[in-house]
Structure 1
Amino acid sequence: MTDDATTELPPVLAEIRDDFLALGERDRLQLLLEFSRELPDLPARYQNAPGLLERVEECQSPVRAFAEVEADGVHLYATAPAEAPTTRGFASILAQGLEGLTPEQALAVPDDYPFTIGLTNAVSPLRLNGMTGILLRAKRQIRDQVAAG
């Protein structure tokens, strides 16, 4: 990642990245577990119809997510089982980090963001690929909604 990409990171995602990088590896895992407990609840329209959320095939755990573009910005809704705290933590980071961004800001988030938060030695590459899958899926959904007007 270039310095330009780093400076263009939305403030919440930059802060999350910096918080992770300020810690040792063991503490980074603890922070990820804290994020797993902060995954926002689904709105009622999704709680009653989880099939409206798209399955994230790149995740080993059953993760479903959907990004919406509303007048007040982007919202990422996701579900991940409590017994998969790593994946749930990644979903929470992205839900919090994309919240309220303009579509342009969300689409500008580097695809390799999951690899920049200092977890490459602490979690498996498959799990990092799962987080990347959530991000790429959200960006595709945002692009589709913007194109549809």
Structure 2
Amino acid sequence: MTRLLRRLRREEDGSTLLLTIGFAALALALIIAVTAATSLLIERRRLFSVADGAALAAAEAFALEQVRFDGTDATPQLADAAVDRAAADWASRAGGDLTEVRVDGAAADARSATVSVSSAWHPPVVSLLLPEGIRLDVTSTARAVFVD
């Protein structure tokens, strides 16, 4: 028995197969992680596009009655209700292919609108290394400009 154990310690048959299986598993895990990271980046950029559009639509959501003229400059005054409606309308139309898009907040100060939009992201391949999905949140601000 001891002779068999000594011989097995000296011989290296099968070691290459074990290393190949280990490296293949590592390479597969790396490919899945890179694929998920790329998918997350693309989904975040798409969500930023929706948020930018919603902020721009919200910043332009004013009526002519809301434009104040101080003698030299005309400045629009944004209302929170109009900003909320415009941002929600834009996000519902533009975010059709994103999962669970919602406007988390839309606020207006005197001349700019800030919109927060969120969406659910799910990795393309679910594994033990990655979560089943996370919620992405982005915020965008746009300034209202009135050119007379």
Question: What's the TM-score once normalised by structure 1's chain length?
Answer: 0.27
Query: Which protein has the larger Cα radius of gyration, Structure 1 or Structure 2?
Result: 2
Greater relative contact order structure (CA < 8 Å, 6+ sep): 1
Q: Which has the higher strand share?
A: 2
